[in-house]
Structure 1
Amino acid sequence: MPNLVRRRDVLTFGAALGLTAIAAPAWARQLDIWEPRRAILDNLHTGEAFNEVYYANGSYLLDALAEATRVMRDWRTGDERFIDPTLFDALHAIRDRLESPRPFQVISGYRSPKTNAMLNRRSNGVAENSQHVLGKAIDLRIEGVELSNLRNAALDLAAGGVGYYPRSNFVHVDTGRVRQWRGS
């Protein structure tokens, strides 16, 4: 049975959101604080979808973020960790730049330490200290959008790390330090 986000975790997360707003990166401070923000996600492994406003009237909506977290859980183990809300802000800004109505296809969101260690043993392309384990990364694509255009929109935003994997058909986006790389 998957680990479910408990009410205590939601309250802890809610307290942390105040700090997130104070320490928001420069690119995120450019977002209109009164404009609603929506995330549209399709998890390719579970078939689950999320299409909700997660930010409105100047604040994050905890119930929506908890549901988005569930959709982005580790599909191999069912483990969940709250996803950094600025990752959703980055996705919102990327969708605006691309002007695409289509959902982000989620290949990988949160990864448990166990899953990440297994993937790291199988591939040198998986970081030992991955941002996925911290709930700050997503591997994705958008149907009908050239992968290079998705990569360029993420790079233009400069919200964090951007990995380009054209042979594997996805782009990695995270809210860690700004950097870029090309994988297979």
Structure 2
Amino acid sequence: MLDTVPRAKLTRRSWLGVCLAAPIAVAATGLPAPALARSKARGIERILSFHHQNTGESLKVVYKADGRLIPENLLRIDHLLRDWRNNEVKHIDPDLLDLLWDLQQKLEVEERITVLSGYRTPATNAMLRRRRRGAATNSFHMKGQAIDLRIAGRSTKQIRNAALALNRGGVGFYPSSGFVHVDTGAPRAWRGV
């Protein structure tokens, strides 16, 4: 059967009109173009995969789907990122999880995140401060807002550069120790040992 629906003829003038109308359509939504793109991506499942270096535990989980956090999977992440020295669990900031997901997108990897340190109790943080320099007095680790990590297939320098490009929090670069710290505090950067 023949298609009987008339088709519009695309001329240079009509193509120019489409190209000029697109930014106006985006502006009409009230969202900047990147925000509009993110809102269309709400249907994406956000998956994070972890391996904790100190406990040997691994976890691959959908923490957000259709723009909504999945509470039972957040609890599983909280448990994996607990203070492994005393098994104390704290709620991990969902903004940190989004930062990790965005970091993986920026690095174009789906490799699991190797966790060196997630949540730390004040007692653990104080112990680390006594043992070595570098642990902050008011560490974001104690708030569930920081992670020290590695990602297979990417150097610490690549991870640090990608985290800096996101401009979404603190970025500590520890090349001698082979890890990067990211947190959801104010954007800032430092180099450790």
TM class by smaller structure: 0.7 to 0.9
TM-score, normalization by structure 1: 0.82
Structure with larger Rg: 2
Aligned partner of 1:109 among 87, 102, 118: 118
Whole-angstrom CA distance in 1 between matches of 2:42 and 2:188: 26
Task: Determine which structure has greater relative contact order: mean sequence separation of CA pairs < 8 Å that are 6+ residues apart, divided by chain length.
Answer: 1
- Cα deviation, 1:130-149, whole Å, max 9, x if unaligned, reads 00000000000012211100
Shift of 1:124: 2.0
- Cα deviation, 1:69-106, whole Å, max 9, x if unaligned, reads 10000011100100001101001001111111211100
Stretches of structure 1 that go unaligned for 5 or more consecutive residues are: 1-26
Whole-angstrom CA distance in 2 between matches of 1:51 and 1:139: 18
Shift of 1:113: 0.7
Aligned partner of 2:183 among 174, 178, 181: 174
Whole-angstrom CA distance in 2 between matches of 1:182 and 1:151: 10
Aligned partner of 1:156 among 165, 169, 178: 165
2:60 — aligned with what? 51
Q: Secondary structure at the match of 1:133?
A: helix
Whole-angstrom CA distance in 1 between matches of 2:36 and 2:147: 21
2:5 — aligned with what? none
Give the aligned residue type for 2:87: G
1:76 and 2:85 aligned = yes
Relative distance call for 1:88 and 1:158 in structure 2 (3 A) is same
1:4 — aligned with what? none
Q: Secondary structure at the match of 1:132?
A: helix
Aligned partner of 2:143 among 110, 119, 134: 134
Give the aligned residue type for 1:60: L
Shift of 1:29: 9.2
Once superposed, which parts of structure 1, at least 4 consecutive aligned residues long, lie more than 6 Å away?
Answer: 27-30
1:98 — aligned with what? 107
